[in-house]
Structures are given as C-alpha cells and as structure tokens.
Amino acid sequence: MAILRTKLRPFGAARYVGLVGFVVLAACLGYGQTTNSCLDCHSALPDPLGVTQEKFSQDIHAQKGLTCASCHGGDPTSDDPDKAMSRKAGWKGKIDHKQIPQLCGSCHSDPAYIRQFNPSLRTDQLGQYRTSVHGKRFAAGDTKVAVCTDCHSVHDLRAPSDPRSTVNPVNVANTCARCHADANYMKGYPIPTDQFAKYTTSVHYQALAVRGDLSAPTCTTCHGNHGAAPPGVDKVQNVCSNCHAFQAQMYEKSTHKKAFDAASLPGCVVCHSNHGISHPTDAKLGTGPDAVCMQCHTPGDRCDQARAGLQSGLSQLNEAIKNADQILRVAESSGMEVSEARLGQDQARDSLTKARVTIHSFRTDLVDQDIQAGLKIAAKNLQAGKEAMSERNYRRFGLGIALIAIGMVLAGLRLYIKKIERP
C-alpha cells in the first residue's frame, strides 16, 4: 500500500477518485461472487453431472442452508475449478453408491445435528435400513438394492409432506414400482413383480390415489419404509390391525385364528388377498366366483350352513335399508318432511357396517344381534315412510274435497251474481 501511495501521489485528487472507483468495483465483484460456485459450472453441464440452480433450490437441504460441499466436499467459494474440486479442500467427487447410506447417515443419525433443523425428525433411518431386506442385501454386497437416493431422489430431494416428493404417500407406490414392477431389474430375486399392478386395482389405491385419502395405505404402510420387509405369515394380522382394529380384535378371539395359525395360513390375506385387496362385498360369503368360505369348507357342513345364514341376514338387512330408502325418497320428493327417518337410515346403515365387521368373529349369534338391531331401525324408518306417503295421499284427498267445495261456492256465487244482475 505504501508503494501504491507513493506512485499515486503525483496525481493528487485523481488518486482519491481512483481509489473510490477501485473500492466500488471490488465491492461489486464481491457482491456478484457466488458462495456456491459448483452450480455455475454444473448448471451448464448435461446429465448426469448437470444440476441447475432451479432444481437445487427445490432441495430441502438447499433450503436449510446446506450446499454441494456438504455432501461432496471441496471449496464452493472458489471460482477456480481446480481449487474448488481439490482433494486438499476435501472434495470427494461423485459419491460412490456404496457410500450413500453411510454418508446420509452421517447427519441423519446425529440427533444433535438434526435437532437444529427439525427437532421432530427421527434419526434411526440408517439403523432401520440395516434391518431391512434392502439394507441386509446391501451389506452383503448387492448394489442393485435401493439406497437412500433411489427412493428420496437427489439434488431435488423434497420433504415427504411435499406432494411432489417421491416419498409422499401418493407417490410412494410409483417409487417402489420403479424397481419392483420391473421384471428385468428384479430378475434373480425370488419375488413377484405384479404387486404394483395388483395394488392399482385395490380398494386401498382407489382411496389414496383416486379419492386423495392420505390415511389409506401404500407400500410403506404395511412394509415399513426404511426398515422395509415383507410381513411374515404370523405378522400379517398385526399389519392390517393398525387400521382395521375391530376386525382384528374379533379375529383374534375367533376359531379361525387358531385354525389358520395351525395351518400356517397368513390370516387376513387368506380371504382378502394382499396387494390387490378388492372392496369386500357380501358375495364373499356366498358360493359364487367371489366366495371365499367354500375354498376351505365343504358344502352342506355346519360352517356352510352358518355362512348361508350370515349371508342371508346381511342381504335381508341390506334389502330392508333399500326399501326404506326408496319409500323415503319418494315421500321426500313429494314434499313430505322425513328428515328424521332419513337420519335414522344412517343408523341402520351403521348396523349393517357393524354386522359386516362382526363377521370377523365368525360367530353367528353376534352378527345376528347387529342384523336384528339394523332390521328394527329400518322397519321403523320404512313405517315412517309409509306414514308419510299415507299422509301425502290424505292431504291430496283433502285438497280434492276442498277444491270441490271451493268450486261449488264459486258456482253458487256466479249463479247468485247472475240472479241479482238479471234485468
């Protein structure tokens, strides 16, 4: 600086102008200098090296203040590629597939570190992953199995609550299907590849993907996510009971539980299947193509008779509800006030639902209690509908009489007017 001062001295005031200009220029250059120089180059590179600013800005890590260097190392403040990607600066280059779980786990298994970003985020993902089929095979050297980035994506990794995230409940099945529905990719693994195709026909998929009901199950709901594994034969009931608690409680006490356990049959799956669970109808109790009881039972035996009784009871209640609905609909469209009976119909429907749930106890006496309760309510509502219709007819009859009387008065008045106006 002393040399500079000496050299500039002869220019007098101009040196101050020059100094000010220099400071402004330096400030501008400093302002324009990025703190993540990686993206300056990589946003211009083609895949797989290309990462645009737009893509990376969507990443939850970028939003939390992490940079490329957080995973890849190096010096992102340097504009010189050699310095930025120098091993001296800790640059790791492309992360080896085998290193990914460990790399992610270096932060995500550290509660103290994670707490500063999201105190409620779990930190056992790596531990769980190691217990999963994916993790076990990975540890055994299988590089085809999924690691963190295969499911969560990379460089545009979003929070699971983001509807665009690959692990959002609505997208999970598609994410799993990328590998599990690919017969070529899954060659060599002793599992089928039709799970996704079956799942898309299921009542669960309809609820989740079509109706947008986020409480409906997807792959990870039953298999787990980081600790993903197929539930064992004896664990299926535990999986289903997470949502279908009443059915599970009844099944637990039923004779079928003992019989299925003895025969090593996978509980709920025996009647309902697994990935392609269709909407259960009363036809499951029948003898047609959708019937399930007769797959094991013999026609005419005690259980077959019980099955027929249950199906008949459910049909009877269903029919009674339909009949009451029909008459109440007609009464309502005739302007009759039947809102109480319409509300009562919901109770009858609840009884039908309860009876269908009680089927899982496989006890005819318990199911019959629910059916009888529903039949009683439906009969009351049917009666209310009949009364409304007879009231409607009574009103119309009364109207007819009143109109005749009014007509007679009008005719009488007309005759009287004629009489008094006769010249």
Partner 1 sequence: MSSLRNVSNWLDERLEWDDLIAPLRKKTVPLHRLSYWYFLGGITLFLFVIQVLTGILLLLYYRPGANEAFESVQYIMTRVRFGWLIRSIHSWSANLMIFTAFAHMFSVLFLKAYRKPRELTWVSGVILLFLVMGFGFSGYLLPWNTLAFFATKVGTEITGQVPLIGKPLMIFLRGGEEVTGATLTRFFGFHVAVLPGIATLLIFLHLLLVQRLGMSIPQKLEVQWTANPSAKQEMKFFPNFLLRELMAWYAALAVLGALAAVFPWNLGVKADPFVSAPAGIKPEWYFLFMFQTLKLIPSKVWFIDGEVLGVLAFGLVGLLWLLLPFFESDQPSRPKRWITGLAVFALVYIVGMSVYGYLAN
Contact footprint for partner 1 (CB under 8 A): 335-337, 339-340, 395-396, 398-399, 402-403, 406-407, 409-410, 413-414, 416-417, 420-421
Name the residue nearer to partner 1 (CB basis): 97 or 414.
414
Least separation, in Å, of the C-beta of 339 and partner 1?
7
Q: How far is CA 163 from CA 166, 170, 402, in A?
A: 8, 7, 65
Least separation, in Å, of the C-beta of 327 and partner 1?
16
- Distance from C-alpha of 18 to C-alpha of 273, rounded to nearest angstrom: 82
User: What is the number of H-type helices and E-type strands within the chain?
Assistant: 23, 0
Name the residue nearer to partner 1 (CB basis): 136 or 386.
386
DSSP secondary structure code for residue 300 in this structure: T
Least separation, in Å, of the C-beta of 105 and partner 1?
46
Name the residue nearer to partner 1 (CB basis): 49 or 406.
406
Name the residue nearer to partner 1 (CB basis): 140 or 401.
401
**Does residue 318 contact residue 373 with C-beta atoms inside 8 Å?**
no
- Distance from C-alpha of 204 to C-alpha of 275, rounded to nearest angstrom: 9
Q: How far is CA 333 from the centre of its chain?
A: 38
Least separation, in Å, of the C-beta of 273 and partner 1?
39
- Distance from C-alpha of 377 to C-alpha of 354, rounded to nearest angstrom: 14
- Distance from C-alpha of 167 to C-alpha of 180, rounded to nearest angstrom: 15
Least separation, in Å, of the C-beta of 181 and partner 1?
40
Gap between the terminal Cα atoms of the chain = 134
Name the residue nearer to partner 1 (CB basis): 181 or 382.
382
User: Helices 245-253 & 339-358, crossing angle to 10 degrees?
Assistant: 40
Q: What are phi and psi of 238, to 5 degrees?
A: -65, -40
- Distance from C-alpha of 363 to C-alpha of 297, rounded to nearest angstrom: 16
Largest distance between two CA atoms of the chain: 138
Name the residue nearer to partner 1 (CB basis): 1 or 420.
420
Tokens at residue 40, please? Answer: 């300056």
